[in-house]
Amino acid sequence: MAGALGELMLTAGAVVLLFVVYTLWGTGLQTAAAQNDLRSQFELQIETEVDEPEAVYEGLELGDAYGILRIERFGENWEKIVVEGVEDADLKNGPGHYPDSANPGELGNFSIAAHRSGHGEPFAKFPELREGDIVEIETAKGIYRYRLDNAPNGDPDGNRIDIRDSWVVKPVPDKDGPRDAEPTEARLTLTTCWPRWGSSHRMYASGVLVSAEER
């Protein structure tokens, strides 16, 4: 009996280990390959001439390349291709743009979500974000920089919210404000899972547009 129980525990341990390996390594390989394909797609967007600047966002489908996200706090050369969409099928390939949120540079709340574990762990260092950090997004329309004015500031539990708290990605991200409030500034909101190895809650960071260089 003891021998059978021991074998069962060993088997269970092996299954857990395989799951961890797949989460950290297997999904990371898939995401890396997807990022390469998305980068090629994004470069083609830049090379394609359009009559109207706003046309660069028209016709984007879920999963398409949206732009390049750069956050120096995560590393000097850290950058990820952002996809259109925030469903599981989208986020497995990289950070995702909330389709109903603003585009960079526009009045409103340009919002991005990404994983902290698995799939390349793009937001693994999310709690390290600090007020004053610059977040840059490059799209086929231009390069936009936002300065964070609300961030975890090194607290692993900082800016934790309920998983149903969608107010952070409203056009005017005010917890107690109306959903149809008219935005008066161009803002950015980043969201991710809390805790790192779970998803019972969310974390967020937000900031305001400080520069725009349109093509």
Residue 212's contacts (CB-CB under 8 Å, 6 or more residues apart) are 104, 105, 142, 143, 144, 145
Around 88, how many Cα atoms within 13 Å sit in the side-chain half-sphere? 3
Q: Are strands 142-150 and 65-71 parallel, antiparallel or unpaired?
A: unpaired
Which runs of E-coded beta strand occur in the chain? 65-71, 79-84, 96-97, 108-113, 134-139, 142-150, 160-162, 186-194, 201-214
CB 2 within 8 A of CB 64: no
What's the CA gap between 199 and 156, in Å, rounded?
A: 14
Please say if 119 is a catalytic residue. Answer: no
- The answer to whether the Cα torsion of 8, 10, 15, 20 is positive or negative is positive
Q: Does 193 participate in catalysis according to the annotation?
A: yes
Residues 31, 154: Cα–Cα separation, whole Å: 27
3-state SS class at 60: coil
Of 97, 119, 193, 201, the catalytic one is 193
- The catalytic residues are 115, 193
